A and B are shown apart, each in its own frame.
Chain A
Amino acid sequence: MNNTSSTERLILRKVTVEDADFLLELLNTPSWLEYIGDRNIHTLEAAAEYIINGPLPFYAKHGFGSYCVELRDSGTRIGMCGLYKRDNLNYYDLGFALLPEYEGKGYAREACEFVLKESREVLKFQSLLAITDKSNLRSIQLLERLGFQWKGDFSFENNPEILNCFQLSLVEKTVAPPLTIVITEELTLEQKATVRKIWNSVYPDSLVLPTADDFDLYLEPLGKQRHYLLKDLSSELLGWGITFERENNRWFAMILDDSMHRTGMGTVLLKRMQADQPQLSGWVIDHKNAVRTDGKPYLSPVEFYLKNKFTLESETRLELPTISAVCIRYNHENN
């Protein structure tokens, strides 16, 4: 949004360093400490630093974020409401908090409705998530009134606390469920089996890996592997990406389960890998002759990679009996 927007009773605007005094108060209210967590901010300086490292770069990068909520009549700052992005979640999530004396007056709902409208109409998001503490009944109730549905339990990587994950779909078509990206240097046997299953169903039949050993043979020569696992809340694997080192370059490959097709999740997984690697190279099939084991044609993903800031290196080709592909490269500095 621009720097300021208003609703019937509220003003929502971007936070500035001048709001340090207010953030200091908000981040230490009993309900923030109980339901969101102790951010350990006890001085004005720390609060200013929190703003400088949190909301400000977020606005700069995305143009939106979490807003300061004010009463229109008096200009009193009463809370925060807006969108957050967690590295390993597939959609933005809605967050809100008010000072206790302003709870129960419908302000949170009014602010959230503004953010939902912005997400749907301006930002054109397909879906939003919301994460709450299990005992935060008030927030749960508000989310349900806003149309969010409970999707299951969720924990952040560095904290064993079990939380609720809610989801709201902002479009008519079906959207991907809440997904997390888990990064690992080595796959377990079970993960390998699932990845191989997806591989065999979505890649052309010439690339099929008939046995577990075949997959191990593929992985064996790849240096410094980083695996990106796209999982739903019940830990079912729905996508896999890998980056690895070969001849001093970082290479990658990725596949998604068919159910993820056209949900934007390919971009989500790729972006996560791009965030870790300034350069990526890969091979993609650029012709229409490949066929999958189920008889369907294998659709070339060239367009997808061009859309995601890769460039085609037409003269560098891989021509093997099993695959005919062209080289694509991503370079962070060119973007």
Chain B
Amino acid sequence: MKTTSNSEETFLAINQHVSKTCPFTEAELTLFNSLLEVRTVKKKTFLLQQGEVCDFEAYINKGCIRSYYINENGFEVILQFAVEDWWVSDIASFHEQQPSNQFIETLEDCELLVLTGEAKEQLLQQIPKFERLFRLMVQRNLASLQHRLMNTISMNAEEKYLDFSKRYPTIAQRVPQLHIASFLGMSAEFLSKVRTRLAKK
């Protein structure tokens, strides 16, 4: 991983992103930006591996990332995809400082803005308004997890794929289909059949 020099453009997206939740002053944003670490990461790099403690929340400026765990049968199960304007982290490991059971891996060359645990603490002490940002983030994340849980329980394969393509229209083209199959809890062959069936409709 390499740290690059920061320009205003680097923080443009994230500043818009945080400003959606509440207004910040120039000075507040400058302080916020100074606490972020800019990292460019090659594709197929692990940001986190099972057994490590996750010490970051990373905002994606550019690129695509997946998080997954390996189940008892040795298969990868994908928990989440993340693209531009999303955050990635292992929330449990980050907050409890416990070893993670997840892998977080870049699928493309990425540019990330990384907030470490320490930097986040500083940020919250100096600008308490950021609490609201992170509360909303957790809220959204929980809602999306609930949605995913309900889909897993109640939808058939075709509905799952249609819902996925609607919610994440660009991801299907950006990640290999076997990853999408893993995210949806089906085999790649089966997903292929589902897509063929849908195409014929």
List the interface of chain A (C-beta within 8 A of B): 34, 134-135, 137, 140, 150, 152-153, 162, 164, 177, 232-236
B179-193 interface code vs A (CB 8 A; 1 in, 0 out): 000000000010011
Q: Is B104 an interface residue (CB 8 A)?
A: no
In the complex, 14 of the A-B residue pairs with CB atoms within 8 angstroms, ordered by the A residue number, are A134-B176, A135-B174, A140-B173, A150-B173, A152-B177, A153-B176, A162-B178, A164-B173, A177-B199, A233-B192, A234-B196, A235-B189, A235-B192, A236-B192
- Checking B43, B189, B195 against A152 with a beta-carbon cut-off of 8 angstroms, the contacting residue is B195
Q: Are B177 and A134 in contact (CB under 8 A)?
A: no
Q: Is B64 an interface residue (CB 8 A)?
A: yes
A233 to B176, CA, bound (A): 13
Which chain A residue lies CB-closest to B194? A234
A137 to B175, CA, bound (A): 12
Q: On chain B, which size bracket covers the interface?
A: 20 to 34
Contacts A150-B172, A152-B177, A153-B176 known; A135 to B193 CB distance under 8 Å?
A: no
The residues in B between 142 and 201 inclusive whose CB is less than 8 angstroms from any CB of A are 170, 172-178, 189, 192-193, 195-196, 199
Q: Are A137 and B174 in contact (CB under 8 A)?
A: yes
Which chain B residue lies CB-closest to A155? B176
Q: Are B192 and A152 in contact (CB under 8 A)?
A: yes
Which chain A residue lies CB-closest to B177? A153
Q: Are B196 and A134 in contact (CB under 8 A)?
A: no
Q: Are B109 and A34 in contact (CB under 8 A)?
A: yes
Name the A residues within 8 Å of B173 (CB-CB). 134, 140, 150, 164
B4-24 interface code vs A (CB 8 A; 1 in, 0 out): 000000000000000000000
Q: Are B196 and A236 in contact (CB under 8 A)?
A: yes
Q: Are B108 and A234 in contact (CB under 8 A)?
A: no
Q: Are B174 and A134 in contact (CB under 8 A)?
A: yes
A202 to B43, CA, bound (A): 47
Which chain B residue lies CB-closest to A234? B192
Name the A residues within 8 Å of B178 (CB-CB). 153, 162
Q: Are A234 and B172 in contact (CB under 8 A)?
A: no
A164 to B173, CA, bound (A): 7
- Checking B64, B177, B196, B199 against A135 with a beta-carbon cut-off of 8 angstroms, the contacting residue is B64
